Homo-oligomer: A and B are copies of this chain.
Amino acid sequence: MEPTNQNKHQAFQQDQKNRGRLLITCPDQRGIVAAVSQFLATHQANIIESSQYSTNPEGGDFFIRIEFECPDLDSKKTLLQEEFETIAQRFSMEWTLSFVHDLKRAAIFVSKELHCLRELLLEWENEDLVMDIPLVVSNHPEAKNFVESFGIPFVHIPANKNNRQEAEQQQLKLLEEHDIDVIILARYMQILTPAFVETYSEKIINIHHSFLPAFVGAKPYDRAFDRGVKLIGATSHYVTNDLDEGPIIEQDIKRVSHRDQVEDLKKNGRIIERSVLVRAVRWHVDDRIIVHDNKTIIF
């Protein structure tokens, strides 16, 4: 992996250099919090924020997110990972321990409609969205200048129904080269193959321009107009191989009226699409999401 061109979030990284996050899923039982908090206290870590959720206290599943501050965290990373394994095994945990200063590496995929891309880059520029963006990929050339004006490489890979395999080969190669953690489909209008989706399972975030499960599939604003709805919506979700059926991360709506024609619904929709997608991405890079049973738990 080559170094990225972004060092804009260095102050953040320095500020957060001792900050870690634990995300845990396991069968519910007594003593989990005690064991984990004891482990952290032993390593001089102070719990800063903690949220937990149980589907059912009697024999259900248990989920917790803990953010902690630990002196000299950088030098203790391996140790913590190794020692936590004992607790994890005892409680049959699935877990991840992440370090806030190791920024997530995001690739943004876009087509012709640029409003979601623009919002992501402006929030990133503003430091309201902290991650690395090693590249933007598009099947159209329109976004090139805008993207490059932020110092971010733009890669144009024409993609359509007929060359899907080859296009994805190119994309996968780039994603691997750039060590990408999360793919953001910012109104990317191509369907991904099952193989691609499985490679990045729970790591592809899409924005769908309707209030799911209403208006699954194509042309949701046209269908919302035909139905005469009074609110339109947008939904951000992880991509699975069932169209628009993946775990929902965030949704929002905007009021419309009989005066709004299809074009007006689209215009209003752009406002919610971009804010919903940014919130979903922010929660993902902040390690706030656990996917369970095709739903999301957002801490």
Contacts and interface: CB of A to CB of B under 8 A. Distances in A.
Interface of A: 28-34, 37-38, 40-41, 44-54, 57, 69, 115, 118, 122, 126, 128, 145-146, 149, 211-215, 227-231, 233, 247-253, 257-259, 267, 270-271, 275, 294-298
Nearest to A248: B228
* Copies of this chain, count: 4
Contact of A298 (B231, B233, B258): B258
Mostly, the A contact residues are mixed
Given A30-B41, A48-B57, A248 B230 contact: yes
Contact of A33 (B29, B33, B228, B233): B33
Given A214-B214, A228-B248, 18 more contacts: A34-B34, A34-B41, A50-B52, A51-B51, A53-B258, A115-B122, A128-B270, A149-B149, A211-B231, A212-B227, A213-B215, A213-B229, A229-B251, A230-B251, A231-B251, A231-B253, A257-B298, A258-B295
A259 B53 contact: yes
Nearest to A33: B37
A9 to B, nearest CB: 15
A24 to B, nearest CB: 13
A102 to B, nearest CB: 20
Given A28-B46, A34-B41, A211 B214 contact: yes
Contact of A248 (B115, B229, B233, B270): B229
B258 A296 contact: yes
A48 B37 CA distance: 16
A229 B57 CA distance: 22
A271 B275 contact: yes
